[in-house]
Amino acid sequence: MPKKKAAPIQSVKGMHDVLPEEQLIWDFIIKKGRSILEDYGFLKIDSPILEQTNLFERSIGEGTDVVDKEMFNLKTKGGDNLTLRPEFTASFVRAYIEHGMSAWPHPVKLYGIGPVFRYGQPQGGRLRQFNQLNSEIFGDETPAADAEQIFILCKLLNEIGIKNTYVKINSIGDKSCRSGYIKALKDYYRPRLKKVCPTCKTRFKKNIMRMLDCGEEGCRAVSESAPQALDYLDIECKNHFKLLLEFLDEAGVPYILDHRLARGLDYYTRTVFEIWSEDEQINFALAGGGRYDYLVELLGGYKTSACGWAMGIERIILAMKALEVKIPESKHNPKVFLAQLGDLAKKKSLVLFEELRKSGIPIQASFGRDSIKSQLRIANKLGAFFTLILGQREALDGNVILRDMESSAQELIRLEDVVEEIRKRLKDK
Ligand code: HAM
């Protein structure tokens, strides 16, 4: 009787492996992101994945979906309450304060890349572990900073190959105009509470602005005619928004004003925005962000204006696949495969492999295999242009067989000429 196989263990719901064949697209996006952000003077920062839970409670805000429902919390043996970061912004602000960045020349421009965790209901484009590319500017209160952030983000998406994007944008004012707006929303929604979903009934008490962008049909019908934040902005907020839109016009960034865009995080002031694709198959935001002029102070720093964005890398990949975006081939795709047969050939092939690798020729081999047939099969699968075959005989005579994988033509060449020959022939491929 064959032994019973142990039950396989699956990855955690909403969390995925990134397999070798997907690494190319990941590298491509991350490289583009780093290169454009560094061109614009952003510095990279890595922050820990675990933070004190109260960092997120105080910044993102109790009453938000992220804090109330979606945090992965844990208690350490020492009794600390920690959380797997659900985003970067709060961590960057903590780091900005902790490392005395207020003394650095301003603006301080930071970016980071890495996994974030939200315990939501996984579905197309929504995961429990996903990766963000996140960008923040500290210490610039002018609309030029908001415009710079939006412009960079759109440029990046365009360079990645996601062309037809547009910005949904809104201003939700600041402390001085927010209370008038919240009162207007309460007056509007109170007599209409029967028509909204149970979650929005709770939002009415805890986070009324989130009622605006609820996706439920009934709620959408009600929010359509809700008071608009733009009508409650004071003169400074109005001017900020007007100037920002002028910047975007000048830069040719397409946008639509969306009076229902509130975003799910409490720290925003004035500008909020999201980037969407015009392609209907892509039915989620590719990126989102906004201004948060009180957060540094709220977390114990000096009053410092800030604005930023984050984009979800998995969503970018979904969009690239839907739009059939082609990415450049890796220069590491093997152009040459080294096959060997017999003990002496095996030993010599390690040295030959190293010689070719050092000369910058993309090469692969399967040192453990003995059958030439199976090695040629691998070479074909990898798309190698040439296979070098080193048998017992060739190893003794100081030769190697060069096989053209397309024509199957084979010829004998001297081992010392291999690098030069391969170089010459690869030029014609
Ligand atoms: P957010 O809108 O919560 O903003 O997330 C930013 C982006 O992360 C989204 O546009 C989306 O691409 C991706 N994303 C969000 N949730 C998920 C999910 N469950 N699965 C897959 N992708 C997801 C923030 O995180 C803010 N911290 C952005 C920011 C930076 N605001 C100012 N500075």
Note the pLDDT of residue 416.
Answer: 92
- Number of helices followed by number of strands (H, E) in the chain: 15, 16
Are 111 and 42 a contacting pair, CB within 8 Å? yes
For range 116-138, the mean pLDDT: 96
For range 302-327, the mean pLDDT: 97
Note the pLDDT of residue 346.
Answer: 86
Mutate to test the pocket of ligand 1, among 96, 130, 152, 276 (most ligand atoms within 8 A of CB): 130
Contacts of residue 411, defined as CB under 8 A and 6 or more positions apart, other chains included, come to 401, 402
Q: Is residue 127 within 6 Å of ligand 1 at its C-beta?
A: yes
Task: State both tokens at 244.
Answer: 């920002």
Catalogue the long-range contacts made by 174-182 (C-beta closer than 8 Å, 24 or more residues apart): 174/234, 174/236, 174/237, 174/269, 174/270, 174/293, 174/294, 175/269, 175/294, 176/234, 176/236, 176/237, 177/232, 177/233, 177/234, 177/237, 180/232, 181/227, 181/229, 181/232, 182/208, 182/209
pLDDT tens-place string over residues 57-108: 999 988 788 988 999 999 999 999 999 999 999 999 999 999 999 999 999 9
Superfamily of domain 336-423: Anticodon-binding domain (3.40.50.800)
Nearest CA to ligand 1 atom 23: 312
Q: Comparing 330 with 83, which gets the higher pLDDT? A: 83
Q: Is residue 293 within 6 Å of ligand 1 at its C-beta?
A: no
Task: State both tokens at 340.
Answer: 């060997």
Are 202 and 161 a contacting pair, CB within 8 Å? no
Confidence at 151, pLDDT banded by 50, 70, 90: very high
Q: Is residue 268 within 6 Å of ligand 1 at its C-beta?
A: no
The residues facing 116 across adjacent strands are 130
Return the closest-CA partner of residue 54 out of 78, 92, 80. 80
pLDDT tens-place string over residues 337-382: 999 998 888 888 889 999 999 999 999 998 887 788 999 999 998 8
Mutate to test the pocket of ligand 1, among 70, 87, 92 (most ligand atoms within 8 A of CB): 87
Note the pLDDT of residue 68.
Answer: 87
CA distances from 361 to 48, 340, 345, 354 (A): 38, 18, 20, 10
CA of 107 to the centre of ligand 1 (A): 23
Q: Is residue 288 within 6 Å of ligand 1 at its C-beta?
A: yes
CA atoms within 13 A on the CB side of 163: 4
DSSP assignment string, 251-265:
HT--EEE-TT---S-
CATH class, 20-173+233-322 region: alpha beta
Return the closest-CA partner of residue 307 out of 182, 150, 83. 150
Note the pLDDT of residue 94.
Answer: 98
Q: Which atom of ligand 1 is nearest to the CA of 120?
A: 19
DSSP assignment string, 201-228:
HHHHHH-GGGGTT--SHHHHHHHHTSPP
Return the closest-CA partner of residue 87 out of 102, 63, 101, 70. 70
Based on its alpha-carbon atoms, the radius of gyration of the chain, rounded to whole angstroms, reads 28
Return the closest-CA partner of residue 376 out of 405, 409, 341. 405
Q: What is the pTM of this model?
A: 0.89
Confidence at 1, pLDDT banded by 50, 70, 90: low
Q: Is residue 116 within 6 Å of ligand 1 at its C-beta?
A: no
Residue 17 φ then ψ, to 5°:
-80, 150
Q: How far apart are CA 412 and CA 164, in angstroms?
A: 53
Note the pLDDT of residue 136.
Answer: 98
pLDDT tens-place string over residues 182-220: 999 999 999 999 999 999 999 998 889 989 988 899 999
Is 102 exposed, middle or buried (CB count within 10 Å of its CB: 0-12, 13-18, 19+)? middle
Q: How far apart are CA 312 and CA 127, in angstroms?
A: 10
Distance separating the N- and C-terminal Cα atoms of the chain: 54
Mean of the per-residue pLDDT values of the chain: 94
Q: Is residue 287 within 6 Å of ligand 1 at its C-beta?
A: yes
Residues, the chain:
429
pLDDT tens-place string over residues 354-363: 999 999 999 9
Is 278 exposed, middle or buried (CB count within 10 Å of its CB: 0-12, 13-18, 19+)? exposed
Q: How far apart are CA 15 and CA 28, in angstroms?
A: 21
Note the pLDDT of residue 370.
Answer: 76
Are 263 and 271 a contacting pair, CB within 8 Å? no
* Residues 404, 408, 410, 415, Cα dihedral to 10°: 30
pLDDT tens-place string over residues 222-245: 999 999 999 999 999 999 999 999
Q: From edge to edge, which strands make up the β-sheet containing 81-84?
A: 50-52, 81-84, 72-75
Are 230 and 171 a contacting pair, CB within 8 Å? yes
Query: So where are the chain's domains?
Result: 20-173+233-322, 336-423
Largest CA distance in the chain: 93
Q: How far apart are CA 409 and CA 127, in angstroms?
A: 50
Q: Is residue 162 within 6 Å of ligand 1 at its C-beta?
A: no
Q: How far apart are CA 235 and CA 233, in angstroms?
A: 7
